[in-house]
A and B are shown apart, each in its own frame.
Chain A
């Protein structure tokens, strides 16, 4: 079965610190790796995404790092803020079918 393994399950970071969430996948046919952010009581929303032809993508304080040979990718949140406290899901897709395989989620809490 196709899987995306996500860690850690939960994370506490001080305000201004760097939050790092890691994901690993098995299926080398995956060719699209988005991250979704979910606030309590809400549906997830696309945060940032990357394709395997680049090793890094940055949007504001959010950066995806991608290691194709290791089949791993990670989300880095720089200068973490209390407003970043949410659950983050990595995901993977192949062939543009939009049938995403999601990781199990990381609950991030940014403390003052």
Chain B
């Protein structure tokens, strides 16, 4: 079945450590996205990529970094510069063949930093 795989489901880190969240898709989608979900704040866009080797900052990119070396993969690194990293992180993809193509989300990674 085609879809988006995020791993791990739960991740625990100590403050001051960088951590990388994995996102893999086999939908052959060109565009990929990272969102952060916090209670009462909806989903906020961190980074997005419309093509391999290119990505753009979203609304809350500070303290995060990404890479897009392969079409299938879009890992997100939460750096120690992110002041409030504990959150639920969602990866998504969409086809670029049509405008407003639906976002397909993974099942998320819940990151806890203590």
Q: A residues bordering B, Cβ < 8 Å?
A: 6, 9, 32, 34, 36, 41-46, 49, 89, 93, 96, 98-100, 102-105
Contacts and interface: CB of A to CB of B under 8 A. Distances in A.
Contacts, number: 54
Interface string B71-114: 00000000000000000001010100001111111111000000
Contacts of B48: 99
A45 B104 CA distance: 7
A45 B103 CA distance: 8
A14 to B, nearest CB: 25
Per DSSP, chain A at the interface is loop
Interface of B: 4, 31, 33, 40-45, 48, 58, 90, 92, 94, 99-108
Contacts of A99: 45, 48, 58
A43 B58 contact: no
A104 B92 CA distance: 18
